[in-house]
Chain A
Amino acid sequence: MAIAFKSPTTSFFQLKKNNPETHSFLRFSTQRFATPARRFTPMSAISTVPTVGLSETFTRLKKQGKVAFIPYITAGDPDLSTTAEALKVLDSCGSDIIELGVPYSDPLADGPVIQAAATRSLARGTNYNAIISMLKEVIPQLSSPIALFSYYNPILKRGVEQFMSAIKDVGVHGLVVPDVPLEETEILRREASKHGIELVLLTTPTTPTERMKAIVEAAEGFVYLVSSIGVTGARASVSDRVPTLLQDIKAATTKPVAVGFGISKPEHVKQVVGWGADGVIVGSAMVKLLNEAKSPEEGLKELEVFTKSLKAALE
């Protein structure tokens, strides 16, 4: 039966329902990434400096009096080879940390833009192994550390230990798991610690102070302050609760705090910096840009321009 999908259609988007072999989509071998429809010219020189982790990055930036710029993109949207190139673009345009989203079928914390990106990516056949392969090739070429953004079920499916070990092996430094609240993080924290992965924890405007303190105590890499009550997605303005929330967190910890959700313009970035954040995270705006471009190459160019404009706002 026909389904009307509201997300913008691209040539990469396929209706899962119409394909009875849907499940085979998700069993693509690791080769899938290696043979994309188009090849893109690699950007900039390969970095020979080994990447440092998230906390160290913040320490270095703080010494320089700088605020971290942290973009987010969804892996595999429009496809993994574009993602690989996008990571390089983001890196060369001055991102300090890059968040890479692992697409998931039921992303509870994401708004329509990132939801649609995940659906497109999954329909294209993106899977965990392919992402890992891609990262194995690309991370050595980057100078900024990567933090993965993944929901819990795919991690559990692999086995928490296996997951941590595999991502560590390819050079990932950090992890954000948005559907695991503090009380359920024990296993994640243990395995992350064992494997040298920094587990970033989130605090939100609804989090009571005592709970926030416990969260920041346990967080590694940085503290992710969710700027508003809601899911990911650009908003007209950044919530005016952020300054107070930032203050409260900074009273409780010296760990760096990055603000995310809803930030999409240079003006927003400036504001958040002005309020004292140590880092600024921009997600949906990046994802939207890549999706709305006429072609992946156009998308990468626009990504470069956009990234530079946001980065400029940090100066």
Chain B
Amino acid sequence: MAISTNHVASLSKPCISSFTTLKVLSKPNNYFHPGQSEFKRSSISCNVTSEASTLTINAKGNDFKTLQRPNSVGRFGKFGGKYVPETLIPALTELEAAFHVIAVDQDFQKELEGILKDYVGRESPLYFAERLTEHYRRPNGEGPHIYLKREDLNHTGSHKINNAIGQVLLAKRLGKKRIIAETGAGQHGVATATVCARFGLECIVYMGAQDMERQALNVFRMKLLGAEVRGVHAGTATLKDATSEAIRDWVTNVDSTHYILGSVAGPHPYPMMVREFHAIIGKETRRQALEKWGGKPDVLVACVGGGSNAMGLFHEFVDDFDVRLIGVEAAGHGLDSNKHAATLTKGEVGVLHGAMSFLLQDDDGQIIEPHSISAGLDYPGVGPEHSFLKERGRAEYHSATDDEALEAFKRVSRLEGIIPALETSHALAYLEKLCPSLPDKTKVVVSCSGRGDKDVHTAIKYLQV
């Protein structure tokens, strides 16, 4: 039974760049002040009603809107900070200052906007998933409406490019000629290699030796794009070790090198910067939702590894308490096995790669090697802002197992003709648990963070097709 389509075809207007929010505020310290909702909307060229929302978060939320996220020392509540060797502090300070400058620089914004449009292919569609919606329709005809925010359609096949472009432009501003990055699945590595090719910079990507094996095609892609891929054999030879090695390289080459961190993790200002570069996801979604159904999304769902695609979608709506925020982590072999990456569910607070956040550690404070079938979610930490949103009850964090993710991978391929990345499949898997309880016509937007072509050779081992 077809659903009455009360959304209009989306107009393909290029969306305003991520920084219009920031342009309105004059003092650097106030840039990330989330409180005044009118600031956030003033430069968007459409009518937005800012309804007073019922507080759906817990009592601690009374001060939520007035809290700077992050504050001037890079903290989200108690999370975040800059826990790095002293050698890196001046570089982080310089980076933060440069970021504040470009946030109000019209030329920078224009250049960024142009590249996002013509090179990356933004804006990405907000797609009504008709058959998925049908799948979740209950016998009485009621059910939520499922929309997919198509970050998989971006150039390089995931949301990662948003941040890579922003940071490479920033690096050029700083006069850096050498770029380094860490990568798990290879998507951020590919995005970084891509932007370095586009802008003619030297590119070195650190990748865990184990990850290089399971994402061999991405390794080839990076090399084809002109990057040097350095395998990391230390520790567990996975993403966390690649990140540690990238940090060491940065410590050693800090004057010549910019480190393009791939997620909203790491020391301040990275969690904030990476979020801002991805915030365009949420901004477009708000406008597209208004066009399609004249309202806001009711529920946002995104997979969480480090948390960049989730923060990109959520950030725009964090102060709209009537929008439910759901992050889905990797439960691997199950939460009770010791083979998962469900940091926010099973982790504890500690310090990893420069930030205080939830992380997976053993009794001795050693960082545990996590597991997920999807390399991109296989990180034992999580961005500090997610830790904060969880602690404040503003966002909920659940998880999906490898098997559930594989089922969703297949299901969405069959129902929508979209092969999602295994990372994304975790978010899609959670719909099975979420949708039965959602009221009729609830608008659910799932961040379709990447496409799954890179995952077929993994899936082939597990799926009967």
Q: List A residues at the B interface (Cβ < 8 Å).
A: 1, 3-7, 16-17, 22-23, 26-27, 104-112, 115-116, 119, 122, 127-128, 152-158, 178-184, 202-208, 211, 215, 226, 229-231
Of the residues A27, A152, A183, contact of B363 by C-beta under 8 Å = A27
Query: Which residues on B sit within 8 Å (CB–CB) of A109?
Result: 85, 248, 251
Is B87 part of the binding interface, using a Cβ–Cβ cutoff of 8 Å? yes
Is B105 part of the binding interface, using a Cβ–Cβ cutoff of 8 Å? no
Contact assessment for A158 and B252 in the assembled complex, using a CB-CB cutoff below 8 Å:
no
Contact assessment for B233 and A4 in the assembled complex, using a CB-CB cutoff below 8 Å:
yes
Query: Which residues on B sit within 8 Å (CB–CB) of A183?
Result: 73, 82
Query: Which residues on B sit within 8 Å (CB–CB) of A202?
Result: 85-86
Expressed in whole angstroms, the Cα–Cα distance for A4 and B367 within the complex equals 21
Map CB proximity to A onto B228-258 as digits: 1 under 8 Å, 0 otherwise.
0000011111001100100110011111000
Query: Which residues on A sit within 8 Å (CB–CB) of B367?
Result: 105-106, 153
Of the residues B83, B364, B369, contact of A154 by C-beta under 8 Å = B364
Expressed in whole angstroms, the Cα–Cα distance for A204 and B359 within the complex equals 29
Is B431 part of the binding interface, using a Cβ–Cβ cutoff of 8 Å? no
Given contacts A4-B209, A156-B349, 15 further A-B contacts (CB under 8 A): A3-B209, A3-B237, A7-B234, A17-B210, A110-B248, A119-B234, A119-B235, A127-B363, A128-B364, A154-B366, A156-B350, A157-B350, A206-B90, A211-B89, A229-B255
Query: Which residues on B sit within 8 Å (CB–CB) of A108?
Result: 84-85, 244, 247-248, 251, 353
Query: Which residues on B sit within 8 Å (CB–CB) of A107?
Result: 244
Is B91 part of the binding interface, using a Cβ–Cβ cutoff of 8 Å? yes
Expressed in whole angstroms, the Cα–Cα distance for A105 and B237 within the complex equals 11
Nearest Cβ on chain A to B270's Cβ, whole angstroms = 14
Query: Which residues on A sit within 8 Å (CB–CB) of B213?
Result: 1
Query: Which residues on B sit within 8 Å (CB–CB) of A230?
Result: 87, 251-252
| A182 in contact with B350 given A128-B365, A153-B361, A231-B251 (CB within 8 Å) | no
Query: Which residues on A sit within 8 Å (CB–CB) of B235?
Result: 105-106, 115, 119
| A207 in contact with B364 given A106-B235, A231-B251 (CB within 8 Å) | no
Nearest Cβ on chain B to A311's Cβ, whole angstroms = 28
Expressed in whole angstroms, the Cα–Cα distance for A265 and B353 within the complex equals 32
Is B351 part of the binding interface, using a Cβ–Cβ cutoff of 8 Å? yes
Contact assessment for A156 and B86 in the assembled complex, using a CB-CB cutoff below 8 Å:
no
Expressed in whole angstroms, the Cα–Cα distance for A158 and B233 within the complex equals 29
Closest to B362 in A: A26
Is B328 part of the binding interface, using a Cβ–Cβ cutoff of 8 Å? no
Contact assessment for B350 and A26 in the assembled complex, using a CB-CB cutoff below 8 Å:
no
- Which residues from 69 to 89 on chain B have a C-beta closer than 8 Å to any C-beta of chain A? 73, 81-89
Contact assessment for A229 and B252 in the assembled complex, using a CB-CB cutoff below 8 Å:
yes
Nearest Cβ on chain B to A157's Cβ, whole angstroms = 3
Nearest Cβ on chain A to B281's Cβ, whole angstroms = 30
Closest to A215 in B: B86
Is B368 part of the binding interface, using a Cβ–Cβ cutoff of 8 Å? yes
Closest to B244 in A: A106
Query: Which residues on A sit within 8 Å (CB–CB) of B73?
Result: 183
Query: Which residues on A sit within 8 Å (CB–CB) of B84?
Result: 108, 179, 181
Nearest Cβ on chain A to B184's Cβ, whole angstroms = 15
Query: Which residues on B sit within 8 Å (CB–CB) of A229?
Result: 87, 251-255
Most chain A Cβ neighbours within 10 Å, of B233, B252, B366: B366
Contact assessment for A153 and B352 in the assembled complex, using a CB-CB cutoff below 8 Å:
yes
Nearest Cβ on chain A to B247's Cβ, whole angstroms = 5
Closest to A163 in B: B365
Contact assessment for B210 and A204 in the assembled complex, using a CB-CB cutoff below 8 Å:
no
| A206 in contact with B365 given A108-B247, A116-B234 (CB within 8 Å) | no
11 A-B pairs in the complex with CB atoms less than 8 angstroms apart? A16-B236, A105-B367, A106-B244, A110-B248, A157-B361, A178-B86, A184-B81, A204-B87, A206-B91, A211-B89, A230-B251
Is B338 part of the binding interface, using a Cβ–Cβ cutoff of 8 Å? yes
Query: Which residues on A sit within 8 Å (CB–CB) of B254?
Result: 206, 229
Contact assessment for A23 and B90 in the assembled complex, using a CB-CB cutoff below 8 Å:
no
Closest to A129 in B: B364
Contact assessment for B210 and A153 in the assembled complex, using a CB-CB cutoff below 8 Å:
no
Map CB proximity to A onto B307-322 as digits: 1 under 8 Å, 0 otherwise.
0000000000000000
Q: Which 4 A-B pairs have the closest CB atoms?
A: A157-B365, A154-B365, A230-B252, A105-B366
